[in-house]
Amino acid sequence: MMAPASNVTADTDVHYPNTVRACQLVEQSWRNTATLYGYEEYDIDTESKLQNRRRYDIVAGAFSVSAYPSAAYLLRYEHAGCESPRADVEAIAIAKRGLDAMGIKRSAYNLRINDSEMLDLLLSEYLDLDAVQTSLMARLLAQKRTLAPDKFRDRAIDIVGLSHSSEVLQKLSKLLTARSAEDLPEVIRHSECYVNLVALYERLERLGIDNVILDITLAHPEYTGGIIFDFTEADAMHSALLYKGGRYVNNDLQSSVGGQSDMSNIIELLARHTGMRHLESATQAYIVTVGNVLDDAERIAEKLRSERVSVEVDYTGRPIDRQIKEAIKKRVRYVMTVDEQSVAKGLYNLQNIRENSEQQVSFERVVTAVSDRRHHQQYDEDDDVFDLSDIL
C-alpha cells in the first residue's frame, strides 16, 4: 500500500507544497479512474483463479531514475482472465482518462501500440522468416531505439543471411515506417489479429482517442500476449514513460490485460508543462480577521467544517492585505473576511482569488459556493466526454 502522498516530504527534490500536491493529484486520479472502471484495490501479486477480476494497487517503484525519488510509486492495474479484445481498449482508455484527470493535454504525450502476435505474423509471412529468425528479429526490433542504424542493419543481416538480406531489409524498412493498420501489407489482412487491430483503432477513435501511432518496435517484456501500448511524453528531449501496458499470459495460463503508470515521470511532465501552477491548496477557504472577532471567526470556521468545508483561520492579527497575500501564496481559492460589521449582519465578504471576484454573502451561501466548486472539480476530473457505454 502506498504511503499517503502528504507524507512524502523527506527528500530534497520535494518543494513543499507543490510536489506534495502533485503527488496527491496523481494518486487520487489513479484511484478515481480505476474505481470508475470497476477496479478494486488489492495486491495484484495475490494468486487468484477468478475470471474477469478487475484489480489495482499502488506500490513503491519507478520505470527509471527520476528527479522526484520521493514520488517513486507505480499504479498497477489488471483485468485478469479476460479474453475479449475490448479489454485492450479499456486498458488504454483508463490511462487516457487518468491523464485527463491530472490536467495533462493530449498534445503533451504520444500513444503508441503494437501487437506481438501480429508482429510474429508479419515476420513469418511477410518477411518469410523461420521460427528462430522470427524470434531473433522480434528481439532486435525491440532494441532498435538503442542501436545505431548501421549496427541494426548488420545484426538484421546476420539473422536473415546475406543472400536474402536485400529483399528482407527493403520489406523491413516499409514495416518500420508503418504508423497505422492501413500501412500494413495485404498478406496479413486476413488474420484475426489484424481484424482486432483495426477494431481497436475504431473503438479508440469513438472514445476520442486519436493519433494513435503503430510502432512495431514497441515491446515491454512483461506484455507478450497480444496488444502492447505505452504513453510517452511528446517532447523528444525528455520522452518520459507515463503509462505502459498490454496483454499477457498470467500464472494461471489465462490471457489478461494490465497496465502500469509512473508517478515520478508524470510529475516531471507536470512540472515542465504547467509549472504545477494549477494545483490548489487542499484548504478550501481562508478566513481573514479584522478587529476583536477571533471567537466569532473560530465559531464560523467550525460551522463550515461541520459542512465538510476545509478552513484555515488567520490568527496573526496582521493587516488584512498581508493576510490575503498569505492566502494567495498558499493558493487557497476562497478568502472570507470576518469583522465586527459582518458578524452583526451575518453577511461576509467572500473573494474567489482565482477568478478575481468578490461578493457579500450569507454563511449558507459560503457553503454553497465552496461546495459547488468542489462538485465541479470532481466532474472535471472524473466525468470527461468519452466512455465505453456504446461499444461494450
pTM of the model: 0.79
pLDDT at residue 377 tops 60: no
Alpha helices, H only, the chain? 18-36, 86-101, 116-121, 131-142, 149-160, 165-177, 192-206, 263-274, 294-306, 320-329, 340-345, 363-382
Burial class for 75, CB neighbours closer than 10 Å (0-12, 13-18, 19+): buried
* 212-214 sheet: strands from edge to edge: 40-41, 53-60, 73-80, 255-262, 241-249, 227-233, 109-115, 212-214
Cell matching residue 84: 475479449
Spatial separation of the C-alpha atoms in residues 325 and 286, rounded to whole Å: 11
Distances in whole angstroms, Cα of residue 51 to Cα of each of 78, 80, 88, 209, 245: 12, 6, 16, 28, 19
Strand partners, 258: 78, 246
Q: Which of 95, 104, 106 minimizes the C-alpha distance to 33?
A: 95
Give the pLDDT confidence of 78-107 residue by residue, as tens digits.
998 888 999 999 999 999 999 999 989 999
Band of pLDDT at residue 376, cut at 50, 70 and 90:
low
Give a three-class secondary structure readout of 32-77: HHHHHCCCEECCCCCCCCCCCEEEEEEEECCCCCCCCHHHCEEEEE
Strand partners, 53: 80
Spatial separation of the C-alpha atoms in residues 235 and 105, rounded to whole Å: 13
Say which residue the cell 505474423 belongs to.
Answer: 121
* 357-362 sheet: strands from edge to edge: 311-313, 285-290, 334-339, 347-352, 357-362
Strand partners, 77: 56, 259
Cell matching residue 187: 498478406
In this structure, what DSSP letter does residue 332 have? Answer: -
CA angle (79 as vertex; 74, 81 as ends), nearest 5: 135
pLDDT at residue 51 tops 80: no
The share of the chain scoring above pLDDT 70, in percent, equals 88
Helix (H, G, I), strand (E, B) or coil at 209: coil
Cα-flanking dihedrals φ and ψ of residue 210, to 5°? -115, -175
Q: Which of 333, 358, 352, 327 minimizes the C-alpha distance to 280?
A: 333
More confident call, 212 vs 42: 212
Q: What is the mean pLDDT of residues 325-341?
A: 92
pLDDT at residue 170 tops 70: yes
pLDDT at residue 391 tops 50: no
Q: What is the mean pLDDT of residues 328-341?
A: 92
pLDDT at residue 381 tops 90: no
Q: Which of 135, 133, 134, 155 minimizes the C-alpha distance to 144?
A: 155
Give the pLDDT confidence of 359-368 residue by residue, as tens digits.
999 999 999 8
Span between the terminal Cα atoms of the chain, in Å = 31
Distances in whole angstroms, Cα of residue 308 to Cα of each of 5, 301, 304: 21, 11, 7
Spatial separation of the C-alpha atoms in residues 148 and 152, rounded to whole Å: 6
Spatial separation of the C-alpha atoms in residues 106 and 109, rounded to whole Å: 6
Band of pLDDT at residue 126, cut at 50, 70 and 90:
very high
In this structure, what DSSP letter does residue 125 have? Answer: I
Cell matching residue 232: 510517452
